[in-house]
Structure 1
């Protein structure tokens, strides 16, 4: 592992493979939670499922105890954008929940998030979930060796601006990841192309757009964690951890490595070969 280009952490093939193991734990846990979401289930019950799954896979929850955070997942419901604390809140028909999850394997991190509708939701809410997910993939697809962080940010922003008057949250960003959950550089969801650090093989990033049906502005509740929209509009949040290998992009937290979506977008896909 070397530190290059403004202190960015560059991983070798073996370190990336450990991150892939952590990423698979995250991806499998999120799939379990997505399938478990239903009216009448509490966010605390989802958190317990997540911790059992992560530890059962031989990994450690990244979030639990991180700067005092009390859960293994962030569970953000409706107007909660990010960092919702899991607990006694019971999900109801028509809610949406964003679940953010992290795991550590042998000191290496994976981090991903998704947004799930709890039963039927209005069409505009379903569209919000889908455009947020697609903006994440557009951001990842803009990454290649020699590109810059701003190219990712611009791809996320330009796709969302073309879809409608969505609020693109600026207070929280994606980030570098590897031997720690949060590393340089920040990966904003708005920005100009050609700006910021240059992308290298072995640099791992988490791309995570947070998008609302109203304002981009957020407030943090008195628990000092939960971020909510300032205007009460509903939000969606998607995230994947990825890296660049000699053969293309590898999405470490996607169960298929990102092959289906990267191929759909015409982007070279490739795990790190031996």
Structure 2
């Protein structure tokens, strides 16, 4: 079932999404080699609680942590753990807050220190593909238009692997609503979008092949070839001429630039 939101509901969701953006920005200020993702999980949980919300991910279908921390070949749903981050790691932090009856949740990928040009290029292209998809999230377009835009840019133009098993989704009172929003597909197919449909668009793009598998924990998804994967996600509201982005990468990007341990050189590629 599709739930179109009122403007008031969209505003609550925008506030929640930007709260997650602020928390990710705080993480961007302090991320460094030697930190553990479990410590990041604890910090994010406390910041969500301090905002008067609850961590959306905790116990969601039994998920045992507050955030997903996916490093290198982990595509999504990485369990926070005590392994220390190291120079060259690529890490996606994905987290959510439930507050005032609605969910805000999104993801951002960081690069710690020096990395290869091909890894940096993957980060750049995946991030750009997110905005290619968002451009299509307007009234009258179809879900397939978003999917095609992302796939054409990442797989068609750059030869990357677009994950099929995991997709974006509707967002609202729960973290996953209809419709599914794939990162692959054909233009002109799928549901036609109406105003104030709220969705999470989240390209999950592999440096190598598209194939993935799930670890025995039932959650952690990894690339089959062991090559890195990158994940960016925005919360978006469909509008008539231009989509309204509810989350805010600009504050995360500003924070990244203050941290000498993070590599943002991909922006200049």
Q: Which residue in 1 is equivalent to 2:12?
A: 18
Partner residue of 2:159 out of 147, 160, 165: 165
- What is the TM-score when the length of structure 2 is the normalising length? 0.90
Alignment of 1:75-114 (within 5 A): 75-114=69-108
Alignment map for 1:134-149 (pairs within 5 Å): 134-149=128-143
* Mapped partners of 1:219, 1:36: distance in 2: 31
Match of 1:181 among 175, 197, 213: 175
Task: Tell me whether 160-169 or 39-48 shows the greater mean CA deviation.
Answer: 160-169
Q: Is the 8 A contact 1:28 1:255 kept in 2?
A: no
Q: Secondary structure at the match of 2:44?
A: helix
Q: Distance in 1 between matches of 2:144 and 2:240?
A: 21
TM-score normalised to structure 1 length: 0.88
Residue 219 (structure 1) aligned with residue 213 (structure 2): yes
CA distance in 2, matches of 1:207, 1:117: 21
Structural RMSD (CA): 1.4
Partner Cα distance (1:147, 1:256) in 2: 27
Partners of 2:90 and 2:109 within 8 A in 1: yes
**Which residues of structure 2 form unaligned runs of 5+?**
252-269
- Asked if residue 38 in structure 1 is aligned to residue 32 in structure 2, the reply is yes
Contact kept in structure 2, 1:16 and 1:202, CA below 8 Å: yes
Equivalent-residue separation in structure 1 for 2:223 and 2:46 (angstroms): 31
**Per-residue Cα deviation, 1:180-218 (whole angstroms, up to 9, x for no partner):** 100111000000011111111110010001111111111
Q: Secondary structure at the match of 2:13?
A: helix
Partner of 1:240: 234
Aligned counterparts of 1:39 and 1:120: Cα–Cα separation in 2: 11
Q: Distance in 2 between matches of 1:247 and 1:159?
A: 22
Give the conservation status (yes or no) of the 8 Å contact 1:8–1:184.
yes
CA distance in 2, matches of 1:246, 1:148: 13
Q: Is the 8 A contact 2:172 2:198 kept in 1?
A: yes
Count of aligned residue pairs for this structure pair: 251
Alignment of 1:61-72 (within 5 A): 61-72=55-66
| Structure 1 gap ranges (5+) | 1-6, 258-274
Contact 1:25 1:59 (8 Å CA) reproduced:
no
